[in-house]
Amino acid sequence: MTMTDDQLLAQFRAASLPTGAFHHEQHLRVAWLFVTRHGMPAALSTFPEALRHFATVKGATTLYHATITWAFLLLIHERQVRDAAPDWATFSAGNADLFAWKPSILDRLYRPETLASAFAKHTFVMPDRGSA
């Protein structure tokens, strides 16, 4: 059974969502919820904070990546402003390129060594190649 937006968000915030149920698609959906419910720039602080909390509770503190997190928040925000989707199903259907992970849309924006750097992991880095 698919969770509602409110159920997903509540379980994410409480870190009660099983780690195995929180993959790239769920990351995007929760990020979309933060962008649509809190707006920008609030989502740039509230989502990363909540994501770090989730990772800490799940024992995965080393997995948080600031550049990847911020880049997806900014992409989601731009897409939502350009073509406002009233719900997640509409947004996800119209933005299939955000769901590919390997290769990712970020591969068009960043050099591999940039995303692999410790600096990019802890600090948002501007794209250093091409555009989405």
Range of the domain at 47: 5-99
CA 61 to CA 52: how far, in whole Å?
Answer: 7
The answer to the question of residue 55 being in a domain is yes
pLDDT at 131: 61
Residue 28's alpha-carbon distances to 58, 92, 113, 118, 129, in angstroms, are: 18, 9, 23, 23, 23
Flag whether 44 is in a domain: yes
In this predicted structure, what is the pLDDT of residue 19?
82
Residue type, 105: I
131, part of any domain: no
Q: Is 53 within the bounds of a domain?
A: yes
Task: Pick the closest to residue 35 from 79, 83, 94 (CA basis).
Answer: 79
Q: Give the pLDDT confidence score for residue 61 in this predicted structure.
A: 86
Residue 101: its pLDDT value, please? 86
Evaluate whether 74 touches 124 at the Cβ level (below 8 Å): no
Per-residue pLDDT of the chain (132 residues; tens, 9 = 90+): 689 999 999 999 999 998 888 999 999 999 999 999 999 999 999 999 999 999 999 999 899 999 999 999 999 999 999 999 999 999 999 999 999 988 999 999 999 999 999 999 999 999 999 665
Q: What total of structural domains would you count in the chain? A: 1
pLDDT value of position 71: 98
The answer to whether 76 and 130 are in contact (CB under 8 A) is no
Within-domain flag for 120 = no
